[in-house]
Amino acid sequence: MIIILSGDGDVSTDYVVEYLARLQHKFIRINSYDLLNDKLCISSKNGKTELILAGQLIDINDVGAVWYRKFGFFYKSEQYKKLTKIFNIDIANNISKEFTSVLETIVQILFDKNWLTHPSTIGINKFDVIRQAQRLQIDTPDSYLTNSKNYLQEILPTDEFITKSIRDPWIIRSGTKSIKRPYSMFTSILDQDEINQISAEFFPSLVQRKIDKEFELRVFYLAGIFYSMAIFSQLDSQTSIDFRRYNWQKPNRRTPYNLPFELKVKLKKLMRHYGFNCCSIDIIKGQDGKYYLLEINPTGQFGMVDFPCNYGLHMKVAQHLIYLDQKYHEKSKKTISTPDI
Protein backbone atom coordinates (compact mmCIF):
# COMPACT_ATOMS: atom_id res chain seq x y z
CA MET A 1 0.00 0.00 0.00
CA ILE A 2 1.08 3.55 -0.75
CA ILE A 3 0.55 6.52 1.56
CA ILE A 4 0.57 10.01 0.06
CA LEU A 5 1.21 12.86 2.48
CA SER A 6 -0.21 15.89 0.73
CA GLY A 7 -2.34 19.00 1.11
CA ASP A 8 -5.83 20.05 0.15
CA GLY A 9 -6.03 21.25 -3.43
CA ASP A 10 -2.65 20.00 -4.64
CA VAL A 11 -3.40 19.32 -8.31
CA SER A 12 -0.36 17.10 -8.94
CA THR A 13 -1.50 14.79 -6.15
CA ASP A 14 -4.99 14.71 -7.64
CA TYR A 15 -3.65 13.46 -10.99
CA VAL A 16 -1.31 10.88 -9.43
CA VAL A 17 -4.06 9.32 -7.30
CA GLU A 18 -6.26 9.09 -10.41
CA TYR A 19 -3.56 7.01 -12.11
CA LEU A 20 -3.10 4.84 -9.00
CA ALA A 21 -6.84 4.19 -9.01
CA ARG A 22 -6.74 3.27 -12.71
CA LEU A 23 -3.83 0.92 -12.06
CA GLN A 24 -5.86 -0.58 -9.18
CA HIS A 25 -3.08 -0.21 -6.67
CA LYS A 26 -4.03 0.34 -3.04
CA PHE A 27 -3.24 3.79 -1.64
CA ILE A 28 -4.34 6.23 1.04
CA ARG A 29 -4.04 9.99 0.65
CA ILE A 30 -3.61 11.90 3.91
CA ASN A 31 -3.96 15.66 3.59
CA SER A 32 -2.42 17.55 6.49
CA TYR A 33 -5.76 19.19 7.36
CA ASP A 34 -7.34 15.73 7.69
CA LEU A 35 -5.49 15.53 11.00
CA LEU A 36 -7.48 18.58 12.12
CA ASN A 37 -10.88 17.90 10.57
CA ASP A 38 -11.24 14.10 10.82
CA LYS A 39 -11.15 11.82 13.85
CA LEU A 40 -7.56 10.78 14.52
CA CYS A 41 -6.03 8.22 16.86
CA ILE A 42 -2.42 7.04 16.90
CA SER A 43 -1.78 4.29 19.43
CA SER A 44 1.32 2.51 20.64
CA LYS A 45 0.79 -0.48 22.91
CA ASN A 46 2.43 -3.86 23.37
CA GLY A 47 5.00 -2.98 20.74
CA LYS A 48 2.34 -2.36 18.08
CA THR A 49 1.56 0.99 16.45
CA GLU A 50 -1.81 1.73 14.87
CA LEU A 51 -3.12 4.72 12.96
CA ILE A 52 -6.85 5.38 12.73
CA LEU A 53 -8.04 8.29 10.59
CA ALA A 54 -11.68 9.08 9.80
CA GLY A 55 -12.71 5.66 11.12
CA GLN A 56 -10.24 3.85 8.85
CA LEU A 57 -7.60 1.62 10.40
CA ILE A 58 -4.32 1.92 8.52
CA ASP A 59 -2.15 -1.14 9.00
CA ILE A 60 1.40 0.23 8.98
CA ASN A 61 2.75 -3.20 8.00
CA ASP A 62 0.83 -2.99 4.71
CA VAL A 63 2.55 0.27 3.76
CA GLY A 64 5.59 -0.06 1.53
CA ALA A 65 5.95 3.40 -0.05
CA VAL A 66 5.30 6.97 1.01
CA TRP A 67 5.20 10.10 -1.13
CA TYR A 68 5.96 13.31 0.75
CA ARG A 69 4.25 15.89 -1.41
CA LYS A 70 2.88 18.95 0.44
CA PHE A 71 2.38 18.32 4.16
CA GLY A 72 1.83 21.06 6.72
CA PHE A 73 0.84 24.72 6.23
CA PHE A 74 -1.08 24.99 9.52
CA TYR A 75 -0.87 28.78 9.32
CA LYS A 76 -3.17 28.66 6.28
CA SER A 77 -5.84 26.60 8.04
CA GLU A 78 -9.15 27.87 9.38
CA GLN A 79 -8.11 26.66 12.84
CA TYR A 80 -5.05 28.90 12.80
CA LYS A 81 -7.11 31.90 11.69
CA LYS A 82 -9.53 31.31 14.58
CA LEU A 83 -6.65 31.00 17.05
CA THR A 84 -5.19 34.36 16.01
CA LYS A 85 -8.55 35.99 16.74
CA ILE A 86 -8.81 34.41 20.20
CA PHE A 87 -5.17 34.42 21.36
CA ASN A 88 -2.10 36.51 20.65
CA ILE A 89 0.17 35.50 17.80
CA ASP A 90 2.74 33.83 20.10
CA ILE A 91 0.17 31.39 21.48
CA ALA A 92 -1.13 30.64 17.99
CA ASN A 93 2.41 29.95 16.78
CA ASN A 94 3.11 27.64 19.73
CA ILE A 95 0.00 25.65 18.86
CA SER A 96 1.25 25.59 15.27
CA LYS A 97 4.46 23.98 16.53
CA GLU A 98 2.38 21.34 18.31
CA PHE A 99 0.65 20.52 15.03
CA THR A 100 4.05 20.23 13.35
CA SER A 101 4.96 17.65 16.00
CA VAL A 102 1.84 15.67 15.08
CA LEU A 103 2.95 15.67 11.44
CA GLU A 104 6.41 14.57 12.52
CA THR A 105 4.84 11.69 14.45
CA ILE A 106 3.18 10.45 11.25
CA VAL A 107 6.51 10.73 9.42
CA GLN A 108 8.38 8.81 12.15
CA ILE A 109 5.84 6.00 12.11
CA LEU A 110 6.52 5.58 8.39
CA PHE A 111 10.24 6.33 8.52
CA ASP A 112 11.51 2.90 7.47
CA LYS A 113 9.35 2.75 4.32
CA ASN A 114 10.51 3.54 0.78
CA TRP A 115 10.05 7.28 0.28
CA LEU A 116 9.56 9.37 -2.80
CA THR A 117 11.02 12.65 -1.49
CA HIS A 118 12.22 11.90 2.00
CA PRO A 119 11.26 14.53 4.63
CA SER A 120 14.93 14.89 5.59
CA THR A 121 15.62 16.43 2.15
CA ILE A 122 12.94 19.14 2.35
CA GLY A 123 14.69 21.97 4.21
CA ILE A 124 17.60 22.62 1.86
CA ASN A 125 19.34 25.99 1.83
CA LYS A 126 19.75 27.82 -1.49
CA PHE A 127 23.20 29.12 -0.62
CA ASP A 128 24.41 25.65 0.32
CA VAL A 129 23.06 24.29 -2.99
CA ILE A 130 25.13 26.94 -4.79
CA ARG A 131 28.26 25.97 -2.84
CA GLN A 132 27.82 22.26 -3.52
CA ALA A 133 27.08 22.89 -7.19
CA GLN A 134 30.27 24.93 -7.56
CA ARG A 135 32.19 22.11 -5.89
CA LEU A 136 30.92 19.82 -8.68
CA GLN A 137 31.89 22.43 -11.32
CA ILE A 138 28.28 23.31 -12.11
CA ASP A 139 28.00 26.97 -13.11
CA THR A 140 26.00 29.22 -10.77
CA PRO A 141 25.52 32.99 -10.52
CA ASP A 142 28.04 34.77 -8.26
CA SER A 143 26.20 34.85 -4.93
CA TYR A 144 26.42 36.91 -1.76
CA LEU A 145 24.63 36.75 1.57
CA THR A 146 24.92 40.17 3.17
CA ASN A 147 23.29 42.63 5.57
CA SER A 148 25.49 45.62 4.66
CA LYS A 149 24.45 48.53 2.46
CA ASN A 150 28.12 49.52 2.08
CA TYR A 151 28.99 46.08 0.75
CA LEU A 152 26.13 46.18 -1.73
CA GLN A 153 27.37 49.54 -2.99
CA GLU A 154 30.84 48.06 -3.46
CA ILE A 155 29.75 45.10 -5.56
CA LEU A 156 26.81 46.56 -7.49
CA PRO A 157 28.67 49.00 -9.77
CA THR A 158 30.54 46.07 -11.33
CA ASP A 159 27.43 44.25 -12.57
CA GLU A 160 23.65 43.93 -12.43
CA PHE A 161 22.30 41.93 -9.49
CA ILE A 162 19.05 40.30 -8.47
CA THR A 163 17.74 39.39 -5.02
CA LYS A 164 15.59 36.48 -3.85
CA SER A 165 14.70 34.71 -0.63
CA ILE A 166 17.24 32.25 0.71
CA ARG A 167 14.51 29.81 1.74
CA ASP A 168 10.91 31.04 1.98
CA PRO A 169 9.36 33.77 -0.19
CA TRP A 170 9.73 36.61 2.30
CA ILE A 171 12.20 39.46 2.54
CA ILE A 172 12.77 42.38 4.92
CA ARG A 173 14.00 45.56 3.31
CA SER A 174 14.05 48.26 5.94
CA GLY A 175 12.80 51.60 4.75
CA THR A 176 11.43 50.53 1.37
CA LYS A 177 7.95 51.33 0.18
CA SER A 178 7.27 47.66 -0.51
CA ILE A 179 7.11 46.85 3.21
CA LYS A 180 3.97 48.99 3.54
CA ARG A 181 1.78 46.58 1.57
CA PRO A 182 1.34 42.78 1.41
CA TYR A 183 4.47 41.56 -0.30
CA SER A 184 5.01 38.26 -2.08
CA MET A 185 8.61 38.01 -3.14
CA PHE A 186 9.61 37.25 -6.70
CA THR A 187 13.13 37.41 -8.03
CA SER A 188 13.75 41.10 -8.74
CA ILE A 189 16.52 43.38 -9.97
CA LEU A 190 18.41 45.19 -7.24
CA ASP A 191 19.32 48.66 -8.42
CA GLN A 192 20.75 51.83 -6.90
CA ASP A 193 17.29 53.34 -6.31
CA GLU A 194 16.38 50.34 -4.17
CA ILE A 195 19.68 50.47 -2.29
CA ASN A 196 19.27 54.18 -1.56
CA GLN A 197 16.03 53.41 0.30
CA ILE A 198 17.40 50.78 2.68
CA SER A 199 19.15 51.38 5.98
CA ALA A 200 22.88 50.92 6.56
CA GLU A 201 22.21 47.44 7.93
CA PHE A 202 19.29 45.19 7.07
CA PHE A 203 18.12 41.62 7.44
CA PRO A 204 20.67 39.27 5.78
CA SER A 205 19.56 38.73 2.17
CA LEU A 206 20.69 36.69 -0.81
CA VAL A 207 22.03 38.71 -3.74
CA GLN A 208 23.15 37.17 -7.05
CA ARG A 209 24.74 38.44 -10.25
CA LYS A 210 22.11 38.78 -12.97
CA ILE A 211 22.65 36.36 -15.84
CA ASP A 212 21.78 37.53 -19.34
CA LYS A 213 19.72 34.55 -20.41
CA GLU A 214 18.99 32.89 -23.69
CA PHE A 215 16.11 31.00 -22.05
CA GLU A 216 15.10 29.35 -18.77
CA LEU A 217 14.89 25.65 -18.03
CA ARG A 218 12.50 24.02 -15.60
CA VAL A 219 13.60 20.44 -14.92
CA PHE A 220 11.74 17.66 -13.12
CA TYR A 221 13.98 14.92 -11.72
CA LEU A 222 12.52 11.50 -11.00
CA ALA A 223 14.51 8.40 -10.09
CA GLY A 224 17.60 9.23 -12.13
CA ILE A 225 15.88 10.78 -15.17
CA PHE A 226 15.68 14.50 -16.05
CA TYR A 227 12.55 15.82 -17.80
CA SER A 228 13.33 19.34 -19.02
CA MET A 229 11.35 22.22 -20.48
CA ALA A 230 12.75 25.38 -22.07
CA ILE A 231 10.83 28.58 -21.27
CA PHE A 232 11.43 31.55 -23.56
CA SER A 233 10.63 34.07 -20.84
CA GLN A 234 13.27 36.63 -21.84
CA LEU A 235 11.13 37.80 -24.78
CA ASP A 236 8.51 39.31 -22.44
CA SER A 237 9.40 42.20 -20.10
CA GLN A 238 6.88 40.90 -17.55
CA THR A 239 8.56 37.49 -17.25
CA SER A 240 12.14 38.26 -18.26
CA ILE A 241 13.42 38.41 -14.66
CA ASP A 242 11.08 35.86 -13.08
CA PHE A 243 8.83 33.67 -15.26
CA ARG A 244 6.47 33.17 -12.28
CA ARG A 245 5.09 36.62 -13.12
CA TYR A 246 2.97 34.81 -15.67
CA ASN A 247 1.58 36.67 -18.65
CA TRP A 248 -1.76 34.93 -19.05
CA GLN A 249 -2.71 37.01 -22.09
CA LYS A 250 0.45 36.05 -23.99
CA PRO A 251 2.08 33.00 -22.34
CA ASN A 252 5.77 32.23 -22.80
CA ARG A 253 6.64 29.64 -25.45
CA ARG A 254 7.56 26.33 -23.79
CA THR A 255 9.10 23.27 -25.40
CA PRO A 256 10.79 19.97 -24.39
CA TYR A 257 14.55 20.21 -24.02
CA ASN A 258 17.38 17.70 -23.63
CA LEU A 259 20.09 18.72 -21.16
CA PRO A 260 23.73 18.19 -22.17
CA PHE A 261 25.09 14.81 -21.07
CA GLU A 262 27.93 16.34 -19.02
CA LEU A 263 25.48 18.53 -17.09
CA LYS A 264 23.26 15.53 -16.34
CA VAL A 265 26.24 13.66 -14.89
CA LYS A 266 27.10 16.56 -12.59
CA LEU A 267 23.48 17.10 -11.57
CA LYS A 268 23.11 13.42 -10.67
CA LYS A 269 26.07 13.77 -8.33
CA LEU A 270 24.33 16.76 -6.73
CA MET A 271 21.11 14.72 -6.39
CA ARG A 272 23.02 11.94 -4.63
CA HIS A 273 24.68 14.45 -2.31
CA TYR A 274 21.30 15.64 -1.01
CA GLY A 275 19.54 12.28 -1.27
CA PHE A 276 16.99 13.48 -3.85
CA ASN A 277 14.99 10.96 -5.85
CA CYS A 278 12.40 13.55 -6.89
CA CYS A 279 12.64 17.34 -7.19
CA SER A 280 12.29 20.37 -9.47
CA ILE A 281 15.36 22.27 -10.70
CA ASP A 282 15.61 25.81 -12.09
CA ILE A 283 18.40 26.51 -14.61
CA ILE A 284 19.24 29.42 -16.92
CA LYS A 285 20.92 28.97 -20.31
CA GLY A 286 23.05 32.11 -20.50
CA GLN A 287 23.81 34.08 -23.63
CA ASP A 288 27.41 33.01 -23.01
CA GLY A 289 26.37 29.39 -23.67
CA LYS A 290 26.73 28.25 -20.05
CA TYR A 291 24.05 26.52 -17.97
CA TYR A 292 23.58 28.22 -14.58
CA LEU A 293 21.91 26.33 -11.74
CA LEU A 294 19.62 28.66 -9.80
CA GLU A 295 17.89 26.49 -7.20
CA ILE A 296 16.30 23.15 -6.33
CA ASN A 297 12.80 22.66 -4.94
CA PRO A 298 12.25 19.19 -3.40
CA THR A 299 8.44 19.48 -3.65
CA GLY A 300 8.15 21.81 -6.64
CA GLN A 301 5.22 21.72 -9.05
CA PHE A 302 5.81 19.54 -12.10
CA GLY A 303 2.48 19.80 -13.90
CA MET A 304 3.77 22.94 -15.59
CA VAL A 305 6.51 20.76 -17.16
CA ASP A 306 4.31 17.74 -17.79
CA PHE A 307 1.43 19.22 -19.79
CA PRO A 308 3.27 21.48 -22.29
CA CYS A 309 5.86 18.78 -22.99
CA ASN A 310 3.54 15.75 -22.88
CA TYR A 311 5.94 13.77 -20.67
CA GLY A 312 3.23 11.87 -18.77
CA LEU A 313 4.94 12.67 -15.47
CA HIS A 314 1.92 12.04 -13.24
CA MET A 315 1.65 8.51 -14.63
CA LYS A 316 5.41 8.03 -14.18
CA VAL A 317 5.19 9.16 -10.53
CA ALA A 318 2.32 6.73 -9.92
CA GLN A 319 4.26 3.89 -11.54
CA HIS A 320 7.38 4.66 -9.51
CA LEU A 321 5.38 4.70 -6.27
CA ILE A 322 4.02 1.25 -7.15
CA TYR A 323 7.59 0.09 -7.85
CA LEU A 324 8.77 1.41 -4.45
CA ASP A 325 5.85 -0.30 -2.71
CA GLN A 326 6.48 -3.64 -4.38
CA LYS A 327 10.23 -3.41 -3.78
CA TYR A 328 9.68 -2.81 -0.05
CA HIS A 329 7.44 -5.85 0.36
CA GLU A 330 9.74 -8.07 -1.70
CA LYS A 331 12.61 -7.11 0.59
CA SER A 332 10.46 -7.73 3.67
CA LYS A 333 9.57 -11.23 2.47
CA LYS A 334 13.24 -12.07 1.89
CA THR A 335 14.13 -10.78 5.37
CA ILE A 336 11.40 -12.89 6.98
CA SER A 337 12.30 -16.04 5.02
CA THR A 338 16.02 -15.81 5.77
CA PRO A 339 16.79 -18.05 8.78
CA ASP A 340 18.94 -16.80 11.64
CA ILE A 341 22.52 -18.05 11.61
> What is the domain partition of the chain in residue ranges?
2-121, 142-209, 213-298
pLDDT tens-digit series, residues 30-70: 988 888 888 889 888 888 888 998 888 988 889 999 999 98
d(CA 87, CA 94) in angstroms, rounded, equals 11
Q: Superfamily assignment of 213-298 in CATH?
A: ATP-grasp fold, B domain (3.30.470.20)
Q: E strands, the chain, where?
A: 2-6, 27-31, 40-45, 48-53, 56-58, 65-68, 114-116, 143-148, 161-164, 188-190, 201-209, 213-222, 225-231, 254-257, 278-286, 291-297
CA 164, 167, 170, 173: dihedral to nearest 10 degrees? -60
- Cα separations (Å) of 261 from 162, 221, 244, 272, 306? 29, 15, 28, 17, 21
Q: Are the C-beta atoms of 28 and 4 separated by less than 8 Å?
A: yes
The model's pTM is 0.83
- 143-148 vs 114-116, strand pairing mode: unpaired
The pLDDT of residue 250: 58
- Phi and psi torsions of 92, nearest 5°: -60, -40
Beta bridge partners of 222: 225, 278
Cβ-Cβ contacts under 8 Å for 29 (sequence gap 6 or more): 3, 4, 6, 13, 17
**CB burial class (10 A; 0-12, 13-18, 19+) of residue 251?**
middle
Rg (CA), the chain: 23
CA pair distance 40, 157, nearest whole angstrom:
58
Cα separation, 308 vs 153, in Å, equals: 42
Would you state the pLDDT for residue 139? 96
Q: For 205-249, how does the pLDDT look when each residue is reduced to its tens digit (9 = 90+)?
A: 888 888 888 999 999 999 999 999 999 766 654 444 455 555 456
Instruction: Give the DSSP letter string of 106-138.
Output: HHHHTTTSEEES-GGGSS--HHHHHHHHHHTT-
Q: Which residue numbers in the chain have pLDDT < 50?
A: 168-185, 237-241, 247, 341
Note the pLDDT of residue 164: 66
Per-residue model confidence (pLDDT) at position 154: 79
Q: Return the SS3 of 204.
A: strand
Cα(162)–Cα(198) distance, integer angstroms: 15
- What stretches of 75-197 show up as alpha helix (H) in DSSP? 78-86, 89-109, 126-135, 149-155, 192-197
User: What pLDDT does residue 175 have?
Assistant: 39
DSSP state of 145: E
